[in-house]
């Protein structure tokens, strides 16, 4: 973490991009979610529309379907989406980074453009029934044969697998060496024989996550990402991007609700119950802090810092923002609690998952203590 001045981008340049984006939005009205349309399906329509305007993967090189700009441009758009009351940006940043960093040139050219375009949807097959926080304890095994692998095991909590075509899969490729050296990463097409996807109902009623059963699934050697045993490093890169609010597109989602709260505050300033104005103010602060933090991280990255354990700080801040925000929103819009509201209560329930997915809050604290503060281990 740098203690010298940081470049947060050229405001004129970023403003130009924002104006360009707003002009585009004015001509491309936001899609409406149809009744009964599952959220992922709706978001995919939105993803494709955004991509058609060139608003996805701004910081991805052009030859892979991006725009070759900087991550600061992506922050500006994410920010703008929230302010324009639009749905969030597609959550592909962390997957794209995994491929950019570990994929072969052939894989990058094959997979990144359709990922950015929303033509191929990915999910993430890391967790297992017996390996959640302790990811290294996974038991899914990919047995190597001549030029291919046979994979057997079970994955759990795989978000949106039922809407996805491809899965970033982690499996052990060697039982003889320690976990951190024996995990490899693969691209698994979910229509491959032997793959069964079974949706699980979430607390908010959505069918977000799934169980994945892998019964002797054949994967080609060319479907392995990076060399054998690099899966752990790839997973760590993926989760460090996944823990940054910018890469996951959460900033715009929060921005949308923060704006809604502020409009309510402006309209009902005189009649708000005691303390509620302060709580709305607190949400504004949390949100702005998160945006400033994402900008700082981005500026540090552009200055050459690689994503590392500090993403655990990002994740905890993101969790703080989300959980306080939705909790406050229910105070501001009590009708949501009686069931006559919209989607807010479901989102509130989902905010409780923020401290679980992507590594629980306790695990983030462990990482900070060990890898940033270098505190001693027990015993």
Partner 1 sequence: MDREEFVLVRDMVRSLATRFGVTSADEVKPSTRTAAQQALDDMGLADLRRTSPPAATAQECALLAEEHGRHPLTTSLLGTVLLAPELLRLLGADTSPGTPTIALTRELRLPGETPTDLVAWDSEGADSALCVTAEGTVTRVELGPAAPSADLVRSVRAVPPDAPVETVGRLAPPDRLRWQSYALVVVTAELVGAAGSLVEQAVEYARFRRQYGQAIGSFQAVQHLLADATVLVEACTSVTRYAAWCLDNEPPERALTAARVAKAEVNSSALEAVYAGTQVFGGIAQTWEHIAHLYLRKVRLGATLLATTDELLAALAVPEVTR
Which residues are near partner 1 by CB under 8 A?
1, 3-6, 8, 11, 83, 259, 261-263, 265-266, 269, 277-282, 284-285, 288-289, 292-293, 295-297, 310, 313, 316-317, 320, 362, 364-366, 368-370, 372-379
From ligand FAD, partner 1, none, which one binds at residue 175 (CB under 5 to 8 Å depending on kind)? none
Site track 237-276 with ligand FAD (rule: CB under 6 A), x = hit: ----------------------------------------
Least spacing, CB of residue 308 vs partner 1, in Å? 13
Query: 10 or 134, CB closer to ligand FAD?
Result: 134
Query: 83 or 233, CB closer to ligand FAD?
Result: 233
Assigned token pair, 256: 């949308």
Least spacing, CB of residue 218 vs partner 1, in Å? 43
Catalytic residue among 208, 223, 242, 336: 242
Beta 166-172 vs 195-199: how paired, if at all? unpaired
- Secondary structure, 3-state, the chain: CCCCCCCCCCHHHHHHHHHHHHHHHHHCCCCCCCCCCCHHHHHHHHHHHHHHCCCCCCCCCHHHCCCCCCHHHHHHHHHHHHHCCCCCCCCCHHHHHHHHHHCCHHHHHHHHHHHHHCCCCEEEECCECCECCCHHHCCCEEEECCCEEEEEEEEEEEECHHHCCEEEEEEECCCCCCHHHHEEEEEEECCCCCEEEEECCCCCCCCCEEEEEEEEEEEEHHHEECCCCCHHHHHHHHHHHHCCHHHHCHHHHHHHHHHHHHHHHHHCHHHCCCCHHHHHHHHHHHHHHHHHHHHHHHHHHHCCCCCCCCHHHHHHHHHHHHHHHHHHHHHHCHHHHHCCCCCHHHHHHHHHHHHCCCCCHHHHHHHHHHHHCCCCCCC
- Considering only 366, 368, 369, 372, the residue that binds ligand FAD (CB under 6 A) is 366
Q: Is 56 in the site for ligand FAD (CB under 6 A)?
A: no
Least spacing, CB of residue 273 vs ligand FAD, in Å? 32
242 is catalytic: yes
Subset of 190-229 contacting ligand FAD (CB under 6 A): 208-209
- Considering only 102, 157, 254, 348, the residue that binds ligand FAD (CB under 6 A) is 157
From ligand FAD, partner 1, none, which one binds at residue 252 (CB under 5 to 8 Å depending on kind)? none
Nearest CA-CA partner of 286 in 310, 251, 312: 251
Is the CB of residue 290 less than 8 Å from the CB of residue 244?
A: no
Longest CA–CA separation in the chain, Å: 74
- Considering only 335, 362, 370, 375, the residue that binds ligand FAD (CB under 6 A) is 362
From ligand FAD, partner 1, none, which one binds at residue 184 (CB under 5 to 8 Å depending on kind)? none
Least spacing, CB of residue 368 vs ligand FAD, in Å? 12
> Both ends of the chain: CA-CA distance in Å?
30
Least spacing, CB of residue 378 vs ligand FAD, in Å? 10
Q: Is 122 in the site for ligand FAD (CB under 6 A)?
A: no
From ligand FAD, partner 1, none, which one binds at residue 293 (CB under 5 to 8 Å depending on kind)? partner 1
Which residues touch 114 (CB under 8 Å, ≥6 apart)? 65, 120
Q: Is 107 helix (H, G, I), strand (E, B) or coil?
A: helix
Query: 156 or 372, CB closer to partner 1?
Result: 372
- Considering only 70, 159, 182, 351, the residue that binds ligand FAD (CB under 6 A) is 159
- Considering only 356, 368, 369, 372, the residue that binds ligand FAD (CB under 6 A) is 356
User: From the CA atom positions of the chain, what is the Rg in Å?
Assistant: 21
Q: Is 62 helix (H, G, I), strand (E, B) or coil?
A: helix
Q: Is 182 in the site for ligand FAD (CB under 6 A)?
A: no
Q: How many residues at the interface with ligand FAD, by CB under 6 A?
A: 20
From ligand FAD, partner 1, none, which one binds at residue 368 (CB under 5 to 8 Å depending on kind)? partner 1
Least spacing, CB of residue 270 vs partner 1, in Å? 11
Least spacing, CB of residue 157 vs partner 1, in Å? 24
Q: Is 326 in the site for ligand FAD (CB under 6 A)?
A: no
Residue positions annotated with a catalytic role = 242
């Amino acid at each position: 973490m740098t203690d010298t001045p940081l470049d947060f981008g050229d405001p004129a340049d970023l403003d130009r991009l924002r104006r360009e984006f707003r002009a585009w939005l004015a001509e491309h009205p936001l899609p409406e979610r149809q009744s009964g349309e599952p959220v992922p399906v709706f978001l995919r329509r939105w993803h494709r529309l955004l991509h058609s305007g060139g608003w996805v993967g701004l910081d991805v090189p052009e030859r892979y379907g991006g725009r070759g700009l900087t991550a600061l441009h992506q922050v500006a758009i994410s920010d703008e989406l929230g302010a324009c009351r639009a749905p969030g940006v597609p959550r592909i940043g962390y997957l794209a980074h995994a491929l950019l960093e570990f994929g072969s040139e052939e894989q990058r050219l094959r997979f990144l453009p359709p990922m950015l375009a929303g033509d191929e949807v990915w999910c993430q097959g890391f967790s297992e029934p017996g390996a959640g926080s302790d990811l290294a304890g996974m038991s899914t095994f990919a047995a190597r044969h001549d030029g291919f692998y046979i994979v057997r095991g079970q994955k759990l909590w795989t978000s949106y697998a039922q809407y996805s075509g491809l899965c970033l899969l982690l499996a052990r490729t060697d039982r003889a060496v320690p976990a951190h050296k024996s995990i490899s990463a693969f691209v698994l097409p979910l229509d491959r024989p032997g793959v069964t996807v079974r949706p699980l109902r979430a607390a908010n009623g959505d069918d977000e996550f799934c169980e994945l059963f892998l019964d002797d699934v054949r994967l080609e050697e060319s479907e392995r990402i990076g060399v054998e045993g690099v899966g752990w490093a790839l997973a760590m890169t993926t989760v460090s991007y996944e823990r940054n609010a910018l890469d996951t597109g959460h900033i715009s989602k929060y921005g949308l609700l923060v704006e809604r709260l502020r409009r309510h505050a402006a309209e009902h300033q005189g009649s708000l119950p005691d303390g509620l104005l302060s709580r709305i103010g607190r949400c504004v602060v949390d949100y702005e802090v998160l945006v400033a933090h994402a900008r700082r991280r981005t500026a540090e990255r552009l200055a050459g810092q690689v994503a590392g354990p500090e993403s655990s700080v990002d994740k905890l801040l993101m969790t703080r923002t989300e959980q306080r925000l939705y909790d406050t929103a229910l105070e501001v819009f009590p009708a949501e609690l009686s069931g006559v509201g919209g989607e807010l209560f479901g989102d509130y329930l989902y905010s409780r998952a923020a401290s679980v997915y992507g590594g629980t809050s306790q695990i983030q604290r462990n990482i900070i203590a060990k890898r940033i503060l270098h505190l001693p281990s027990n015993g």
